Structure 1
């Protein structure tokens, strides 16, 4: 359905994330991947979704020349826990600390998406609350050894083993936690296509 509606657009997904790329395939949206190095630094005063909105927009600014029918999609995800943004872990020790601190508690996952053309831009985000059950040291170590989630915000992928055994409660979109609020993206793309 989207494929036909977006036939006149050249959709560029600026993300190396296999999960995001897979969502686009599942939506049956034709796309190409273009990656540009961006230093993901944001002003200290930003909080929660303000951070991801800023970074999704920042990533879009790396693409200075868009053609008339280009639609550039950039995205960013953070975990927000106890008033702080938690990004990707530096190493195994850092990942262990993150998961230990979030064990038995709630955190929020924010993902922002920027859709940009030569003539317009829209940035939107979604919020999901995730509550972990109490995780044992053994469970955390097993997860880190087996899945090595060092490329993921908050040191975990909800679709991994830890999501199966460790998520007590979820409020909001599951896919948002995986890195893309697909339901919102779909609605935005439909708006653009009509």
Structure 2
């Protein structure tokens, strides 16, 4: 029997015998179980005054959800990368770098490719996001699914890394004394994109 199964069985038997959650927690902690393990085991059961412990619903993952959130993650990466790339090309065209000399009109081929990708990927992402939202309306318990929470955590983690990278780039540019309007515009674009992603997906980590 796995340790988690041992804990679940102990909590079930303890509640059935009339012991309260606090007494069970104290006994488990005294035997060396971690606080997180004890909390998870106690959260799996509820006392509704029936004389027997009532199991709480546990998060479950399905193949359909794996495909849904996997495609959403790929679509999100594709959209953010190509939006930033397109923005960089436009910034280079509108704000030429005086340190390089001359006037840059951007990479027309790169911009056309980014636009083509966005025309395909953006509707797909919006459809997937809408599909996930409709699933929550039908079954609010889907908020507990580990895939949804992992997707949200990974998305917020990568967005935070982007913000930290932008901060490092600004500090480095300030130390070297090379801060141009083009550079600051690119940094601002990255920051705005990261904040938009965080605002969009913060709900994925919200408790049901």
TM-score (norm 1): 0.25
**Quick check: which one's strand share is greater?**
1
**Quick check: which one's helix share is greater?**
2
TM-score (norm 2): 0.24
